[in-house]
Chain A
Amino acid sequence: MYPSRFGYESPKTVEEAIAILDASGGEAKILAGGQSLVPMLKLRFAAPEMLVDINNIDGLRYINVEADGTVRIGALTRHEDLEYSDVLPTASPVLAAAAHLVADPIVRTRGTFVGSVCHADPQGDWAAAMTALGGHIVAQGPNGKRTIEVKDFVVGPFQNALAYNEIAIEAVIPAPKGKSTGSYLKLERRVGDFATASVAVSLDMVGDVVARAGSALAGVGGRTIDATDAVASLVGQKLTEENIKTAAEAVAAAAEPRSDHRGTSDYKRQIVKTFVIRILTGLAESSQKAA
């Protein structure tokens, strides 16, 4: 590949990295997994003056599940770490379901979870999953750390809320109200294709009653779509065929798809609706089995 000319720094600590970013005055880009950035450099869609490679900073690759169920994911945690995690299937079934649908196996070995959220691609799986889970991002800058809700963090297509001298150092999924359940479904024409439609549904269950419901969509709008309001009607309810259908239709209505060579907007809504029904029906069946 033949990118434009750029400088390169490889700091050993977060503080050092922040200092470089601060000094760059907004002309630097952080290189983590590089699975979105490097193709953009190759196509010269991105031409930063400086790349700040954070891969040599220790201690940023982890998935920690705290006693209350809070999940913390470090900035250098690779997609494959989530895919092969022993703890995630219980701690966060939505993340576990999405993990093996992210891009392709080659990208998953290198790309990072936090980097994907930061990239804020409207097609991004992790921003959608995090939105459905009500997650937040911990950002660190010259003045210390701050916490940003993912729904506020992703401010538009390919735009996040970080200041030029801040690094997203951790993603946090808050403790569930009860048992964390949910899933992630994606229609893609091929592994690694941009999704025709992706659906994340997260339910916290107390027995067979929904204690918290979240949903988000990718690929069906110019940004990650927060469809949590559309599934709010499920809270306090047991899942039934009827309320599943109502919720699925509401989520489909929240989508903002565009007709293109992947399908018409109506088709994409149909996929969203079908996927919500499939996820919720699956959850209803397993909660019945458990009961």
Chain B
Amino acid sequence: MALDEIKIGGMGASRRRVEDNRFIRGKGNYVDDIVLQGMLHMEILRSPMAHARIKSIDVSKAYEIPGVRLVLTGEMMAARNLAWMPTLSYDTQAVLATDKVRFQGQEVAAVIADDPYIAKDACQAIVVEYEALPVIVNPLQAMASDATVIRDDKENQPGNKVFDWEIGDREATDKAFAEADVISKMELHYPRSHPSPMETCGSIADFNRATGKLTVYMTSQAPHIVRAAVAMVAELPEHMIRIVSPDLGGGFGNKVPIYPGYVISILASILTERPVKWIEDKTGNLISTGFGRDVYLKGEMALRKDGKILGMRMNTISDHGAFYADAQPSKFKIGLMHSTFACYDLPAAHLTSTGYYTNKAPGGVAYRCSFRVTEAMFFQERMIHAAADDLGMDQAEFRRMNLVKDDMFPYRTAFGFLTDSGQYEKCLNVGMEAIGYSTFKQEQEEARKRGKLLGIGISTMTEPLGAGNSREYDILGIKMFDSAELRVHMTGKAILRTGAMNQGQGHQTTWAQIVAHELGIPADDITVEEGDTDTAPFGMGTYASRSTPVAGAAVAMVSRKIRAKARKIAAHLLEVSEEDIEWELGRFYVRSNKERGVTIQDCALAAYSNMPDGMEPGLENNAYYDPPNLTWPFAAYFVKVEVDAETGVWDVLNVVAVDDCGVRINPMIVEGQIMGGLTEAYAMASMQYITFDEEGNCIGSNYMDYLLPTAWETPGFELHEVVTPCPHHPIGAKGVGECATVAGPAAFVNAVVNAVSHTGVRNIDMPMMPNRVYEALTTGKDVSGMPPVRISD
């Protein structure tokens, strides 16, 4: 009899996360839990200034503190050609500052000592003399003709511009605008936000002079990429480098880049011949590591008066901080910004993008889907909202008219992406029904009479998840495939390794479910391992919602290879030819006699004890998967709010989220991902941002200034699903980990803007803090959130 797939923890089972058992019991193994014999501790001294020339660094007082082993400065790094390192975007980044500091929090020196207390004390004893330079905190300042050049370390860098880029059809777009009845405009700033994983970044570098091998335990979402980069930067042979990512306390894109701290700890271990541990503190993490967003977006939309969108013109100006260190794998300068409007039937579009250096921390594409998709979709839905208002059309009906219809797939977007599947209108309908859309306008009018301001916001979008296909996506030339390796032991238990890197997504749980689905081995019988470059197959790591679309597909494919071999073994055991064998979950049987069969476990045992003549023993294989396309999940989110007109405080009344991410492997985990993403969407809409004052001081360097919502503020979420399987993924799954962070923020902003739109307000920049909403209500004008933050006495 075929097995009950849910019972064995296969596809569709809301199996409990196997990771949680050890996390809840405090038995996880994070970098900071690892203690090595003779280990030293490293602390980084960071710049208090945003832009300054370093006149001198005096480390003599630090060396006077007992227990200090080594103090590293930029000069010492430079002597070993390690003062600068390449970034993943073909720029350079200072490891320890030599000439200048270019953002507040930049690494200036490092102390290696017997314990972390001594290392901290010694950092305080280092005397650095700075000479202040003019500070640039936004791209508008950066582009001024008389702006100080931040990257004067680079040749051929006359100003602060990082890049100019354009895509789309300018002529066709101009024509669309010439034919438009109505032109609608939108301009906004998507503020800088930090992923702020619970665990900060850190590493333990352990260079063994006897074996020549460097082992680095570190917080990386992509350990294999780190190995390749270390081979290049540290000039060590690749087989002598072992990168181990143990349990990660969250990543959200923050742990993709290679940070100076990792590199310094490696050199420190080489120099001291001792293991060196570096654990970043919370402030260090918030002020120096990969952030998200910080983009100015404006655009205009050409519309026919019946509501049809004719064309879209868009411009983005992005703030990259002091170094262009975006860890993004596309060949495009501004990531996947041009995925904007992918769910709408948009005949013509044109996008221009410019990036600038500023005196702020580098990064830009982290945080639960960027590669600029988050900004692209946020702008899209703010623009759509404004366009519907300008036309006097209902928000839902305007979207319904312009969304790509089910029968239009595969659909080539105006910017060249190929969306392949979806039921957009059905998702819209499910959401409208759930939120009570049809009666809302009446509700809103009645509430107005009682002095209450209600608002509703919609956000619909499809986004490109699962980079990538090797034609278009690579990091430093390495293609964006991923991998899985499966070994079935003789008792039918198994170990699976992949090139992805779990950081909360539940890979240990869901990968086993894919194997269970393909082979009928109960999920509980499968161990999943990731993160050790000496044992895991080469893969590009976990970010961009790529694990299920790419590594997950590799898991299915390697399982199928195992099944193909097991089928030959089954034929041998059943003494029939392979053509006469049928498969049902967990079992091969003889077509003419269903009772005669062998289980997958029988085949596993035979692979080690009774294989057919001429067959290689064992039951293991690997698969490298290069996806033919990205996956395109769809989200339709609805938010209802009430605004307090006297204070600007807004409360969320309802959130309805409809997600179509194709086939769901573990529905509970998918729902958890969506709820987590919606929480982050609410966070960015309401409170969570990093801004700067005129001197480049980071406002958001600790949790008193950088606000993350708690269970007290976070609203409840009502989730619905629609399933349109991905046509090219072996199990029909699409990425989902980032949908809610991407589509969510606009639903909140659209709701609040809807509540106050009677004043003429078209936009309130996030976060919509009460003071901003109050300002919008009382002035009737748009509220900009561009730094520097306004501070006066």
Q: List, in ascending order, chain B residues with CB within 8 A of A189's CB.
A: 686-687, 707, 769-770
Q: Mark B99-128, 1 if CB is under 8 A from A, else 0.
A: 000000000000000001100110010000
Q: Across the two chains, which residue of chain B brings its CB closest to A273?
A: B646
Q: List, in ascending order, chain B residues with CB within 8 A of A267's CB.
A: 648, 771, 774-775
Q: List, in ascending order, chain B residues with CB within 8 A of A193's CB.
A: 687, 704, 707
Which of A189, A265, A267, A274 has the most CB atoms of chain B within a 10 A radius of its CB? A189
A190 and B121 within 8 A (CB): no
Q: Which of A173-205 contact B (CB under 8 A)?
A: 187, 189-194, 196
Q: List, in ascending order, chain B residues with CB within 8 A of A190's CB.
A: 687, 707-710, 712-713
Q: Across the two chains, which residue of chain A brings its CB closest to B789?
A: A261
A70 within 8 A of B: no
- Please tell me the size bucket of the interface on A: 20 to 34
Chain B residues within 8 Å of chain A by Cβ, number = 32
B791 and A187 within 8 A (CB): no
A271 within 8 A of B: yes
Q: List, in ascending order, chain A residues with CB within 8 A of B710's CB.
A: 104, 190-192
B712 and A194 within 8 A (CB): no
Q: Which of B622-652 contact A (CB under 8 A)?
A: 646-649
B793 within 8 A of A: yes
B714: min CB distance to chain A, Å: 10
B771 and A263 within 8 A (CB): yes
Q: Which of A239-262 contact B (CB under 8 A)?
A: 258-262
A261 and B691 within 8 A (CB): yes
A191 and B774 within 8 A (CB): no
Q: Which of B128-167 contact A (CB under 8 A)?
A: none
Measured in the bound complex, the distance between the Cα atoms of B789 and A258 in whole Å is 13
Partner of B124, one of A44, A187, A270: A44
B22 within 8 A of A: no
Q: List, in ascending order, chain B residues with CB within 8 A of A2's CB.
A: 116-117, 120, 281
Q: List, in ascending order, chain A residues with CB within 8 A of B769's CB.
A: 189, 261-263
Measured in the bound complex, the distance between the Cα atoms of B793 and A188 in whole Å is 21
Q: Across the two chains, which residue of chain B brings its CB closest to A277?
A: B646
Q: Which of B645-673 contact A (CB under 8 A)?
A: 646-649
B116 and A270 within 8 A (CB): no
B790 within 8 A of A: yes
Q: List, in ascending order, chain B residues with CB within 8 A of A263's CB.
A: 769-771, 774
Q: List, in ascending order, chain A residues with CB within 8 A of B121's CB.
A: 4-5
B792 within 8 A of A: yes
A24 within 8 A of B: no
A264 within 8 A of B: yes
Q: Across the two chains, which residue of chain A brings its CB closest to B792?
A: A259
Measured in the bound complex, the distance between the Cα atoms of B748 and A202 in whole Å is 37
Q: Across the two chains, which residue of chain A brings its CB closest to B703?
A: A192
A187 and B116 within 8 A (CB): no
Q: Which of B758-785 contact A (CB under 8 A)?
A: 769-771, 774-775
A61: min CB distance to chain B, Å: 26
B699 within 8 A of A: yes
Q: List, in ascending order, chain A residues with CB within 8 A of B116's CB.
A: 2
Q: List, in ascending order, chain A residues with CB within 8 A of B120's CB.
A: 2, 44
Measured in the bound complex, the distance between the Cα atoms of B774 and A37 in whole Å is 35
B522: min CB distance to chain A, Å: 40
B712 and A191 within 8 A (CB): yes
B647 and A5 within 8 A (CB): no
A252: min CB distance to chain B, Å: 13
Measured in the bound complex, the distance between the Cα atoms of B770 and A261 in whole Å is 11
A187 and B709 within 8 A (CB): no
Partner of A5, one of B117, B691, B713, B790: B117
Measured in the bound complex, the distance between the Cα atoms of B120 and A44 in whole Å is 10
B713 and A191 within 8 A (CB): yes
Q: Across the two chains, which residue of chain A brings its CB closest to B711?
A: A191
A186: min CB distance to chain B, Å: 11
Q: Mark B669-701, 1 if CB is under 8 A from A, else 0.
A: 000000000000000001100010000000100
Q: Across the two chains, which residue of chain A brings its CB closest to B43?
A: A2
Measured in the bound complex, the distance between the Cα atoms of B707 and A192 in whole Å is 9
Measured in the bound complex, the distance between the Cα atoms of B708 and A258 in whole Å is 24
B699 and A274 within 8 A (CB): no
A259 and B770 within 8 A (CB): no
A232: min CB distance to chain B, Å: 25
Which of B281, B771, B789 has the most CB atoms of chain A within a 10 A radius of its CB? B771
Measured in the bound complex, the distance between the Cα atoms of B648 and A192 in whole Å is 19
Q: Which of A191-223 contact B (CB under 8 A)?
A: 191-194, 196
Measured in the bound complex, the distance between the Cα atoms of B775 and A265 in whole Å is 12
Partner of B791, one of A44, A104, A259, A274: A259
Which of A4, A44, A263, A274 has the most CB atoms of chain B within a 10 A radius of its CB? A263
Q: Across the two chains, which residue of chain A brings its CB closest to B712?
A: A191
Measured in the bound complex, the distance between the Cα atoms of B790 and A260 in whole Å is 6
Q: List, in ascending order, chain B residues with CB within 8 A of A44's CB.
A: 120, 124
A275: min CB distance to chain B, Å: 8
Measured in the bound complex, the distance between the Cα atoms of B793 and A262 in whole Å is 13
A274 and B646 within 8 A (CB): yes
A196 and B770 within 8 A (CB): yes
Q: Across the two chains, which residue of chain A brings its CB closest to B790?
A: A259
Measured in the bound complex, the distance between the Cα atoms of B121 and A267 in whole Å is 42
Q: Across the two chains, which residue of chain A brings its CB closest to B686?
A: A189
Q: Across the two chains, which residue of chain A brings its CB closest to B774?
A: A267
Q: Across the two chains, which residue of chain A brings its CB closest to B116?
A: A2
Q: List, in ascending order, chain B residues with CB within 8 A of A260's CB.
A: 789-791
Measured in the bound complex, the distance between the Cα atoms of B705 and A48 in whole Å is 25
Q: Across the two chains, which residue of chain A brings its CB closest to B645?
A: A274
Q: List, in ascending order, chain B residues with CB within 8 A of A264's CB.
A: 771, 775, 790
Q: Across the two chains, which residue of chain A brings its CB closest to B119?
A: A2
B400: min CB distance to chain A, Å: 36
A183: min CB distance to chain B, Å: 16
A261 and B687 within 8 A (CB): no
A124: min CB distance to chain B, Å: 14
Partner of A187, one of B712, B770, B793: B770
Q: List, in ascending order, chain A residues with CB within 8 A of B789's CB.
A: 260-261
* Sample of 9 further A-B pairs with CB below 8 A, known A190-B687, A262-B769, A267-B775: A189-B686, A189-B770, A191-B713, A258-B792, A261-B769, A264-B771, A264-B790, A267-B771, A271-B647
Question: Can you give 28 contacting A-B residue pairs, CB < 8 Å?
Answer: A2-B117, A2-B281, A44-B120, A44-B124, A187-B649, A189-B686, A189-B687, A189-B707, A190-B687, A190-B707, A190-B708, A190-B710, A190-B712, A191-B713, A193-B687, A196-B771, A258-B791, A259-B791, A260-B791, A261-B789, A261-B790, A263-B769, A263-B771, A263-B774, A264-B775, A267-B775, A271-B647, A274-B646
A residues neighboring B (CB under 8 Å): 2, 4-5, 43-44, 104, 187, 189-194, 196, 258-265, 267, 270-271, 274
> Considering the complex of A and B, which 9 residue pairs feature the smallest CB-CB distances, nearest first?
A263-B771, A191-B712, A259-B792, A2-B120, A190-B707, A274-B646, A261-B789, A267-B771, A189-B687
